[in-house]
Amino acid sequence: MDLQKEIDGLRRELEYHNRLYYVEDAPVISDFDYDMLMQRLIKLEEEHPELITPDSPTQRVGGAALSQFTQVRHQVPLESLSDVFSYDELRAFTERMDASISSAHTYCVEPKIDGLSMSLEYENGVFVRGATRGDGVVGEDVTENLRTVRSLPLRIVNAPERLIVRGEVYMSKSVFNELNAEREINGEQLLANPRNAAAGSIRQLDPKVAALRKLDIVCFNMQYTSGEEYPNHSDTLDALKAMGFPVVPYKLYNNIEGCCERIDWIGENRGDFAYDIDGAVIKINSLKQRQELGSTAKAPRWAVAYKYPPEKKESRVVDIVVQVGRTGVLTPKAVIEPVRLAGTTVTNATLHNQDNIDRLDIRIGDTVLVQKAGEIIPEVLSVNKSKRPEGTEAFKMPEACPECGAPVVRDIDGAALRCTSPECPAQRLRNLAHFASREAMDIEGLGISVCESLINSGLVGSPAELYYLDAQSVASLDRMGKKSAENLIASINKSKQAGLARLLCAFGIRQVGQKAAKTLASHFKTLDELINADELELMAVNDIGSITAGFIKEWFGLPQSQHQIKLLREAGVSFESTETVKDTRFAGQTFVLTGELSRYKRDEASAIIESYGGKSSGSVSKKTSFVLAGENAGSKLQKAQTLGIKIISEDEFEEMIK
């Protein structure tokens, strides 16, 4: 077969299946078959890179990182809409339309997606540029990030010479929940809502990061076309759908009553949409009538957005339960009588922490006012104390973890209570994933999904139990064959010699991260020396203060920690430090690494700096001694230049370490 024909055929087939899967939700082949097609195309393009095109399905993984976004002036302005907040205001809008338009007119009603508005440009059917709305006139070029959105067609059929489409990039609720679950496991700050998550993802300078966020898009307007002229907005949506775009669902009505019924339906069913909805859009359908009506300086006259008010309803608190999250934080929740809010049935509402409970004075049996914060998380707003039954008691958080019975402590910098046990069942997944992570024991092949399988199968209950696994048991897990199991066991065994610094980091002791673990390992040399040190000896170590010293002694004093150490010792895990300082030429000096280094990985360069007694930091300040800058260095380099900090190249760095 001709090579070019095979590549073109694979691209057409993959885009066809992309459309069925991501746009029409009707796949006809398995994920495995799709992956085989993709792997074949990747192989051919790797062998013949001169045949790679920007619209190839292989380019959706993200290209090279950018140093900044360039500005784009929109050919057609991306206007915003005027908001209405009641049906009386909506009727006033339709009355204006009736007075302004002499002929018959219809309204198009669509859900208003709560995402990030984009302009999408196509030339001869090929996606060439995408830009954010910005101020409506000038936006930012985010083309490379948009290429990673799999529901966006990179090539369209039956296309005009030039086409501009307006769409809304969003993160689906399911992806948002998955991402937050993973961030919770990793101890990272949770994302506030899907819209903010989508906005942050599409503005990543590294498209590979955007690709991992699994964004989607839905299109709602044809901004410009050099081809066929369409009489109505609904005709343009149908044409876009035929070209392969995911388009917003719409309904047409001749009167205000029909519009209001549709708005009610969207509001009642918004929980069933894949994306968040913050309102409904009502538009004149005729494009000619729109042109006659025109726009004000701020918004078109022919459309408004009906914004749903935050829905608040009363319910009764049946119970208050305390859940332990994957990071050990105890969170109180009110179990309430079922109530319908923002399209979903709510049975629980967060109470956040003891301080919030005390502020509200909320008790079991109280009648409370509930709403969805940001249309996502149900929360209690207030207590109707006039309906409080007699005999209720103030609620207090437990002093011991409800999952494992270990003591709980209050965060020094907040109101959260946290379980102190390294063997707490609620924290198993997070603890196991952290123990195996790259900055800790660096166990290759032990990602989140494998950790979940090990825990769910009962093979592992705590990190130390990893060293008692065998290949035969691991091979019995789903999606884990004999070879993969053998590789995992080999990686686990290899980690026994990772050294004291990595082990201390893997323990997850509060305020003992990578840097503090290395400092402690360099000072004490063995785990037993560290365990036997008192708080004064710990505080004598550079950068270890009284609070961190207290956390260290507290952790080693727990029976659960002592059990873990016993298992690790018996398994043959090294408790000795591998940290060595060649000399102290960098003592008292702090380095910041930025950009792409050609000769070292970041962690390799940091290890070299530390081996000469120096420190590496992630941020530039007046205390920074040197900034080691590689290619495509960004804001850190600019800040260093502003502060007058010495900037060195890799050549200069190598001279310093000779």
Just list the catalytic residues: 112
Give dist(CA 463, CA 458) in Å, integer.
13
The answer to whether the Cα torsion of 181, 182, 188, 189 is positive or negative is negative
CA 271 to chain centre: 20
Mapping DSSP to helix (H, G, I), strand (E, B) and coil, where does residue 351 land?
coil
DSSP character for 446?
A: -
CB 445 within 8 A of CB 491: yes
DSSP character for 386?
A: G
Other C-beta atoms lying within 10 Å of the C-beta of residue 334: 27
The candidate with the shortest Cα–Cα distance to 645, out of 626, 617, 619, 618, is 626
The candidate with the shortest Cα–Cα distance to 3, out of 36, 64, 45, 61, is 45
Please give the structure tokens belonging to residue 411.
Answer: 């965060």
Which residues, 6 or more positions from 489, have their beta carbon under 8 angstroms from its beta carbon? 469, 470, 471, 474
Mapping DSSP to helix (H, G, I), strand (E, B) and coil, where does residue 505 land?
helix
Give dist(CA 250, CA 268) in Å, integer.
16
Give dist(CA 476, CA 431) in Å, integer.
23
Give dist(CA 421, CA 564) in Å, integer.
11
CB 57 within 8 A of CB 12: no
The candidate with the shortest Cα–Cα distance to 627, out of 648, 609, 611, 642, is 648
Give dist(CA 68, CA 467) in Å, integer.
46
Please give the structure tokens belonging to residue 470.
Answer: 């065998």
The candidate with the shortest Cα–Cα distance to 377, out of 132, 173, 101, 589, is 173
- The phi and psi torsions of 176 (rounded to 5 degrees) equal -60, -45
